[in-house]
Chain A
Amino acid sequence: MNVVLIGATRGMGRALARLLAARGDTLFLLGRNEADLERSARDLEVRGADGTVHVARCDLEDPRTFGPALERAFDSLGTVHTVVVTAGMFAPQEALESDRELTARLLHVDFTATVLFCEEVRERLLANGGGTLCVFSSVAGDRGRRPVALYGAAKAGLSAYLEALDHRYRREGLRVVCVKPGFVRTGMTADLDPPPFASEPAAVAARVLRAIDAGTPLVYAPGLWRVVMWGVRMLPRAVMRRARF
């Protein structure tokens, strides 16, 4: 399988890229920092990726970089079977509430820019006759909750877009996989207190890989979150207003 990844230098993206490498897939990495991308490329080569892992600079904050970067990736790989988006941005609610600029940046990165990136990918994959687009959203978008009002809003929008994209283009061969991880212990969450059922990137990655292979449109990772979030969605407003989570 030929896979393009953005966000694979860190966290869950790194773990997923390693699983792809271990089974001998061909990889192309996109990201902001070329030196860091090269380090990840070497790591994936030693771990079994097929041939040389090439990289190109692509900044999820800057949509002007999307077209040229994807062009290089699609040219380099010939046929692209899957594009994985794990890049994203996180900030705690308190930090966002006191910093409008940070809020604007987070909403832009996690919603607008991610959607624009997916649109670029959609066009290219459909032109090739189809493929899989796997994007990491979050359980934070499943219900308006006090601790993730802004981050959750961006992810809610992203999840809605991904679901619609899947409905709209699956028949033409574009399979969209929306991943909703719960709390995962990565560098992004290093400063937060892990809640119950916090999981490791490798466990999430294994589940996501199965979903990519099967074309599952929506996957909670770990699977327990499917039940937890179903419960949370069922809670009446009066209860949610008092809930601390």
Chain B
Amino acid sequence: MSSTASAVGRVREISGWGGQSVRASEIRAEDLESATRGAVIVRGLGRSYGDSSLPPPGRREAVATPLADRILSFDEGTGEMVAEAGLALSAVYRVLLPRGWFVPVTPGTWHVTLGGMVAADVHGKNHHRDGCIGEHVTRLRMRLADGRIVECGPDEEPDLFRATLGGMGLTGHILEVGIRMARVPSPWIVAEHLPIPSIHDFLRELDTSAEAWPFTVGWIDCLSRGSAMGRGVLFRGRWARPGEAPATFPMPYRRPSVPFRFPEWAMSPPAMRAFNESYYRFHTLRPGRRIEHPQTFFYPLDAVGGWNRIYGHRGVAQYQCVLPRSRGADAVVRLLEHLTERGGTSFLCVIKDCGPEGTGLLSFPMPGVSIALDLPMRDDTQQVVDALNELVIEEKGRIYLAKDALTRPEHFRAMEPRLEEFLRIRRRYDPNSAIRSAQSVRLMGDPA
């Protein structure tokens, strides 16, 4: 009924998904309205890789939303759902997919909360067609830094709304989210896996697939050089029509978790090269069309719990950037060459073409090609990221804040001409940066 335990949370370690931790406690709250009063930063399920969900160095607590997970309304006519910010995407899957509805945009994991999806303005395999999640958000209920609770949406406090989509939780604490869900013809996916021999073919194939396929994404082998550079597998899919799909519901499944943090040699370059080689060969052997479980199609990594532990005690630095379309395929080649020259190796490299920029003021995607890399944290990882960032600035691209742990503030400013406007709006609602994160201290000059 009530907890009267002392308000001081225990000091533990909290970390982003990349695994670099800070000493701080997570305050798990069912009642977000009271827990967010005076809170410095709010986090969801902690799936952003870097430090965006971590409190600034001088503070020792972050409010966590996953216990605030009630669905407040769902309109079967319009598809609009309103829910508390901590509702996980995995719960949306269980509750709405059997009834023929799903989120219009999903990231590559379902262990995210609605609040986190809005804060990062997540994109998915259908970005070329449906944009970011922000394009489907109907309203937000937020607690501002001055303690007020306000509603915002496309037509209400539009500046606050724009700045909050992709604003990494820095404009206010998201309490409730309204999203227009998408109708799906069946809960299954029709998918095709196509082996692609080179990066140029890859970009062409992404382009031609975009017409007919709402979901496209590619895995590329960024360790091979020469003519095989950027060979990979293109995955494309769509929701199956009722006649094509099995009559059963694709029940969520779970495979064993990674039980402990692997030693560092597990992710050595030869091991990664071997994995990339066999992954490519595996898909060359079995190309073609199939009916796929949506969990396999959208969330392949979620099947293994705690998969980030394979990167060992130092964790992983994800790096994701988008390079503008106008720079052409060569920009992507330059980035991959840059990476391999610097000895950067990536176990996983994901490529996706992005559609137009959306409403979110700091949202990541722009028309062009997005590349996501897993860089095991090593002594030289900072230098690798610096070098990649310099290239991204040259190509007029940008990075994804939800992944970032290592970008320098001067680099961030150089690639974000939109930052000034974001900060101007944020100052209007929070002049003293009372709401801030480790990331905003690092990148935006907030007080520690």
Contact = CB atoms under 8 A, between A and B. Distances in A.
Interface of A: 7, 10-11, 32, 39-40, 42-43, 46-48, 60-61, 87-92, 95, 102, 109, 185-193
B71 A47 contact: yes
Contacts of A61: 1
B239 to A, nearest CB: 22
Contacts of B70: 39-40, 42-43
Contacts of A48: 95
A185 B28 contact: yes
A81 B27 CA distance: 37
B5 interface: yes
Interface stretch (B6-14, B265-273, B333-341): B6-14
Contact of A60 (B1, B27, B72): B1
Interface string B64-75: 000100111110
Nearest to A6: B1
A185 B67 CA distance: 10
B2 interface: yes
Nearest to A7: B1
Interface residues of B, number: 24
Contact of B5 (A40, A47, A87, A92): A92
A102 B4 CA distance: 9
B436 to A, nearest CB: 23
B240 interface: no
Chain A interface secondary structure, helix, strand, loop or mixed?
A: loop
Given A190-B67, A192-B10, 18 more contacts: A11-B30, A39-B72, A40-B70, A46-B73, A47-B95, A60-B1, A89-B1, A90-B3, A90-B4, A102-B4, A185-B28, A186-B30, A187-B28, A187-B67, A189-B3, A191-B8, A193-B10, A193-B12
Contacts of A189: 3, 5
B29 interface: yes
B5 A32 contact: no
Nearest to A106: B4
Contact of B4 (A39, A87, A89, A192): A89
A87 B3 contact: no
A43 B29 contact: no
B1 A91 contact: no
Interface in B209-232: none
22 contacts: A39-B72, A42-B70, A43-B70, A47-B95, A90-B4, A91-B5, A92-B5, A92-B6, A95-B5, A102-B4, A186-B30, A187-B31, A190-B3, A190-B9, A190-B27, A190-B28, A190-B67, A191-B3, A191-B8, A191-B9, A192-B5, A193-B10
Contacts of A95: 4-6
Nearest to B66: A185
B336 to A, nearest CB: 42
A61 B2 CA distance: 11
A-B CB proximity, top 10 nearest: A43-B70, A191-B5, A187-B30, A190-B28, A46-B71, A91-B4, A87-B1, A46-B74, A188-B3, A43-B71
Nearest to A10: B30
Contacts of A39: 70, 72
A190 B12 CA distance: 12
A226 to B, nearest CB: 25
Given A10-B30, A32-B1, A185-B28, A42 B72 contact: yes
A10 B4 CA distance: 15
Contacts of A42: 70-73
Among A10, A88, A187: residue with most chain B CB under 10 A: A187
A35 B3 CA distance: 19
A102 to B, nearest CB: 6
B12 to A, nearest CB: 8
A42 B27 CA distance: 26
A88 B3 CA distance: 9
Interface string B18-30: 0000000001111
B39 to A, nearest CB: 14
Contact of B72 (A11, A32, A43): A43
B438 to A, nearest CB: 22
A92 B5 CA distance: 6
Contacts of A88: 1
